[in-house]
Amino acid sequence: MGVDEAGRGPLAGPVVAAAALLLDGGGGLVGVAPPVAGVRDSKKIVDEAEREALYAALTACPALVTGVGIVDEATIDRINILQAAMLAMELAVEDLRIKLAGGAHARARLHVLVDGPRLPAGIEAGARAAAAATSSSKRAKTSADGAAAAGSGAPRLGDIAGAEAIVKGDSKVYSIAAASIIAKVTRDRIMHELHATYPAYGFDGHKGYPTAAHVAAIAKHGPSPVHRMTFGPLKAYPSRPPPPPPPAAAVVEGEVVVRSSAAAAPTKRGSRTAAAPSAPPSLPPPAAGTKRRRRATFAI
């Protein structure tokens, strides 16, 4: 299973991670019998239409199962972007494991390959627990009650069998490259939705990254409810404005999203943290008639 994230550097919006599992047990070097041709590091795919086409092919591929984890900007500000990215990866793996439950591959032992120099703590702990359980079971088999002990130490269905952090993994491992595309496109779509709600910031173009136009928009309008207040120019503002009221009806999607447990009433993307002062008078209101889909949330 490959895992990657998108959205560490932007000034606004969530950080998104994805996990991708090849059901045939593959996932080696990019280009080795790929189930979907053209998959590579999403950062090297500059054409958004090509990323969208690859996303569609990957999510429709019967040989691939994917999971997504999303951590919002309020949580990013609370726990920092590194920990938020690690949490998003853990949520993506958990989402994938949930999708495997009850299916033909429910008993799969998952070896997790993470892009980057470090493993998320939860994934690393899961791999260590699986290794300890396996070692315990082997020792127990030599004892008089070996069979019973082995049964008690057996891993649960879909447990992590091992984990490895791979620097530049998205250019070396097919499943990580696939995950990078799923994460990138998922986040880009969220930013397009945010642009419809807050059009003055141009989220549909820069996707929240600190371009000159984005920084100028913040200086002119102040921060929006989806800006990361612990990043760069946002630090000059005391707090983020409150979010708009939730829609009358919403469609729940399958992605796993994390929200702050101390937040106020849920919004279209989950709850925010404690109520902030009113927005500056120049803050652009949500566009009239804007509708966005609501995602399932997990409180922390």
Q: Are 109 and 155 in contact (CB under 8 A)?
A: yes
Do 27 and 134 lie in one domain? The reply is yes
Could you tell me the residue range of the domain that residue 213 belongs to? 193-299
pLDDT score, position 131? 73
How would you list the strands of the sheet with 110-115, edge to edge? 160-166, 110-115, 2-6, 15-22, 64-71, 252-259, 294-299
Task: State yes or no: pLDDT of 140 exceeds 70.
Answer: no
pLDDT score for 248: 59
Looking at the structure of the chain, the number of domains it has is 2
Lookup result for tokens 């703590």: 121
User: For residue 58, which amino acid is it?
Assistant: L
Q: What are phi and psi of 281, to 5 degrees?
A: -55, -30
Three-state secondary structure call for residue 5 = strand
| pLDDT at residue 277 in the model | 35
In a domain, 109, yes or no: yes
**Average pLDDT, stretch 172-200?**
96
User: Which of 132, 153, 183 is the last residue before a domain boundary?
Assistant: 183
Q: Are 202 and 214 in contact (CB under 8 A)?
A: yes
* 146 lies in the same domain as 42: yes
* CA end-to-end span of the chain: 25
Position with higher pLDDT, 110 vs 207 = 207
111 and 56 housed in the same domain: yes
Q: Are residues 24 and 151 in the same domain?
A: yes
Mean pLDDT of 168-175: 94
Q: Is residue 90 a part of any domain in this protein?
A: no
Q: Looking at per-residue confidence, does 29 or 167 come out higher?
A: 167
Regarding pTM above 0.85, the answer is: no
Is 87 contained in some domain? no
The answer to whether residues 116 and 220 belong to one domain is no
For range 66-92, the mean pLDDT = 97
Least confident of 86-90, 133-137, 161-165, 271-275: 271-275
Q: Residue 298: its pLDDT value, please?
A: 34
Model confidence at 197, in pLDDT bands (50, 70, 90)?
Answer: very high
pLDDT at 176 > cutoff 70: yes
Q: Is residue 77 part of a domain?
A: no
DSSP reduced 3-state for 106: coil
Flag the least confident range among 3-17, 93-107, 146-160, 172-186.
146-160
Q: What is the pLDDT of residues 213-251, one digit of tens each?
A: 999 999 999 999 999 999 999 999 998 898 877 765 544
The full length of the chain comes to 300
d(CA 217, CA 201): 6
Establish if 175 belongs to a structural domain: yes
214 within a domain of the structure (yes/no): yes
Query: Which of 141, 164, 183 represents a domain boundary (last residue)?
Result: 183
Q: Looking at the domain assignment, is residue 222 inside a domain?
A: yes
Whether residue 201 is found in the same domain as residue 148: no
Burial (CB count within 10 angstroms: exposed 0-12, middle 13-18, buried 19+), residue 277: exposed
Render pLDDT for 30-55 as a digit per residue (tens, 0 to 9). Answer: 444 578 899 999 999 989 999 999 99
Q: Give CA–CA dist 110/283, Å, rounded.
A: 47
In percent, the amount of the chain with pLDDT more than 70 equals 68
Same domain, 105 and 125: yes
Q: What is the spatial distance between Cα 228 and Cα 78, in angstroms, rounded to a whole number? A: 10
User: Distance (Å, rounded) from C-alpha 82 to C-alpha 76?
Assistant: 8
Same domain, 8 and 138: yes
DSSP lists the bridge partners of residue 15 as 71
Contact between 67 and 19 (Cβ < 8 Å)? yes
Domain match, 18 and 117 both: yes
Q: Are residues 174 and 207 in the same domain?
A: no
pLDDT band at residue 157 using 50, 70 and 90 as cut-offs: very low
Q: What phi, psi does 63 have (nearest 5°)?
A: -90, 5
Q: What Å distances lie between residue 57 and 42, 51, 71, 171, 218, CA to CA?
A: 14, 10, 25, 19, 37
Tokens 């609501």 correspond to what residue? Answer: 294
Residue 288: phi, psi to the nearest 5?
Answer: -60, 135
Report the alpha-carbon angle 196-6-19, nearest 5: 115
Of 133, 163, 183, which closes a domain?
A: 183
CA 11 to chain centre: 17
